[in-house]
Structure 1
Amino acid sequence: MSRRENSHAFLIDLDGTMYAGNSKIEHAEPFIGRLRELKLPFLFVTNNSSRTPEQVAEHLIRMGIAAKPEEVVTSSQATAHYIAGRKPGAKVFVIGEAGLKSALEGAGLELVEDQPDYVVQGIDRQFNYDKLARAVQYITDGAEYVLTNPDRLLPSDGRLVPGAGSIAASIQGALQIEPVVIGKPYEPIMRFALERLTFAEQVWAVGDNPATDILAGQAAGLRTALVQTGIATADNVEELLERSGASPDLICCNLETLLERLNLHPEGQASK
């Protein structure tokens, strides 16, 4: 393998970069295929806390994008890693769904309904007043509040729905506190992903959202590439960059252009 082929690795966003809901984004499949062909290390990194890595991989495979569970990093996994590293076997009260609960149990943490060491919150489509009241009580009693990701809105089949950050707003509003946040744009999820990534001279964070993907990459000291295939488009990119304060190293119209800019495109097939 050449020095060029050894030089790059990638932490790749999913929604808006690989797919939009249930639709594959153009150039996603050949982009991943080219990375595999060149044997360049990569991981898919998502703020999604509801799905297990197996479910994320299955979702990609259904759209024709080759993926393995071990190539997926979720905010739930990073959250479980964070807590297990601070207090192995900790007792955790969970506001979240199957993917989060599976990750926490897989890290040896105990899911409880009373007297937890941590209140861990992700997206929860069954969230209600009782869960809010319990979270407030436990945090007031001394439990540490950990949020998987701060996303307030999520794209879902052409519309926006409340995300984990919207639920967090109610808890934060009640207590006037800030949680420990694991997911993008914060650095813990990137640090966790980097620990699992094969060594490379240069690691790129790739995504469509300046306020999450790019800022997270910058926080972790990575090179960053913004693709205009989701949140960012050719029409709004300047506004989004100004609003977020993000400064990506590369701005590309799509993933094919990114391959070209990094001199990884197959010979004679460079995009126009």
Structure 2
Amino acid sequence: MAESTGPARSADAPRTAPSASPRALSEVYDTALLDLDGVVYAGGEAIAHAVASLRVAREGGMRLAYVTNNAARTPETVAEHLTRLGVPAEPSEVVTSAQAVARLIAEHVPAGARVLCAGGEGLRVALRERGLSPVDSADDDPAAVVQGYGGPELPWGVLAEAAIAVNRGVPWFASNTDLTIPTGRGTAPGNGAAVEVVRIATGHTREPRVAGKPLPPMHRETILRTGASRPLVVGDRLDTDIEGAYAGGVDSLLVLTGVTDAARLLTARPDHRPTYVAADLRGLLAPQPEVVADGEGFRCGGWRAVAGHGGELALDGGGDDAVDGLRALCAAAWTAAGADGRARVSADRALGALGL
């Protein structure tokens, strides 16, 4: 594990505060495993500070890998998009859940098998990369069914074909089960919503094998393709990015530019608690401040947070960095969490003081 200071987690001792790092994270870790939607871009447009931060991190020697649960686009298309945004990227630096599920399917069906593909071009290309043959109908004698995000253009008939094949007993796979996906106009249904459609059509009697974050096949695919020895997972979702890092035994950085807001972070269960927290990707380029115990509370920067007996979080002090206050609040909330590891706190007033 790369160097860090502050409370760490283990199977017996859940993380009770964000960790500190005396050096910039880009100097401590050899590879950033970056989620895309909500971290690097939203709705196709770069998120503030993302492009400049990634350029500086790369110039300083950190390798960048783009790891996404979105199975719709090919690595070539993703790399072209990133390059247009100002972050030069090669297809080999992109790892998708389509690639992870294609490898998983190839391990369970004969070589060259037909696979009913309910997804976009990214999924079809990944299947062919593994020597599998995408087909469109349940009557094409598929050896497997796979679902992956296909964008708003995915025809309803494709889901019908998938459901028919699954009801016939064909093995069922899914690139991921994210129920939602962020867009530039707001939150939209993700592949998990399409998976639910097929599950409903089976009478809830079947379950797919899932490859994407936070499950092990995606972590395995990422490590195989990047060769990272000291990776840092960077994401915006607790239930995919951070949980996947936890399951893989690697450190993580949560950025607050996507799905997860400050209130949700405070109530995160133990396997959803990131190693580090930052407002955006500039967090890669800076040391991470220490959270220290201070009487019955916790201090970070100029902020001090306390969890009252009724679950009300109180915050006092001040400072230039609101995220320091959030880090202190995390320590107070996570330390006060119940036996199930879930913090039940009221934080509206405290977060209001931070502008979060």
Q: Secondary structure at the match of 2:286?
A: helix
Shift of 1:155: 2.1
Q: Secondary structure at the match of 2:273?
A: coil
Tell me which residue corresponds to 2:46. Answer: 24
Shift of 1:7: 4.7
Shift of 1:52: 0.6
1:237 to 256, 265, 268: 265
Find out whether 1:104 has 2:127 as its counterpart: yes
Read off the aligned partner of 1:139 and give its amino acid letter: V
Tell me which residue corresponds to 1:158. Answer: 185
TM-score (norm 1): 0.86
Find out whether 1:119 has 2:145 as its counterpart: yes
1:193 to 207, 222, 239: 222
Q: How many Å separate the matches in 2 of 1:133 and 1:33?
A: 44
Shift of 1:57: 1.1
Q: How many Å separate the matches in 1 of 2:198 and 2:46?
A: 35
Shift of 1:152: 1.6
Find out whether 1:212 has 2:274 as its counterpart: no
Q: Secondary structure at the match of 2:95?
A: strand
Q: Secondary structure at the match of 1:86?
A: coil
Q: Secondary structure at the match of 2:80?
A: helix
Task: Check conservation: 1:42, 1:197, Cα contact below 8 A.
Answer: no
Find out whether 1:248 has 2:277 as its counterpart: no
1:181 to 210, 220, 239: 210
Identify which range, 78-87 or 213-222, moves more after superposition.
Answer: 78-87
Task: Check conservation: 1:117, 1:143, Cα contact below 8 A.
Answer: yes
Tell me which residue corresponds to 2:82. Answer: 60
The aligned length equals 259
Q: How many Å separate the matches in 1 of 2:64 and 2:173?
A: 27
The alignment's C-alpha RMSD in Å is 2.4
Cα deviations across residues 117-139 of structure 1 (Å, max 9, x unaligned)?
110111233332x4334323322
Task: Check conservation: 2:182, 2:258, Cα contact below 8 A.
Answer: no
Shift of 1:147: 0.6
Shift of 1:236: 4.6
Aligned residue runs from structure 1 range 221-236, under 5 A:
221-234=249-262, 236=264
Cα deviations across residues 135-165 of structure 1 (Å, max 9, x unaligned)?
2332233311001111222222222222211
Shift of 1:259: 2.3
Q: How many Å separate the matches in 1 of 2:60 and 2:284?
A: 15
* Identity level (%): 37
Would the alpha carbon gap of residues 199 and 117 (structure 1) be closer, same or farther in structure 2, given more than 3 Å must change? Answer: same
Tell me which residue corresponds to 1:77. Answer: 99
Tell me which residue corresponds to 2:6. Answer: none
Shift of 1:6: 7.6
Shift of 1:73: 0.6
Higher radius of gyration, 1 or 2? 2
| Structure 2 stretches lacking a partner, 5+ long | 4-22, 290-319, 322-356
Q: Secondary structure at the match of 1:261?
A: coil
Tell me which residue corresponds to 1:268. Answer: none
Q: How many Å separate the matches in 1 of 2:249 and 2:125?
A: 30
Task: Check conservation: 1:83, 1:90, Cα contact below 8 A.
Answer: no
Read off the aligned partner of 1:150 and give its amino acid letter: T
TM-score (norm 2): 0.67
Q: How many Å separate the matches in 1 of 2:28 and 2:190?
A: 37
Tell me which residue corresponds to 1:10. Answer: 32
Runs of 4+ in structure 1 over 6 Å off: none
Find out whether 1:95 has 2:118 as its counterpart: yes
Tell me which residue corresponds to 2:66. Answer: 44
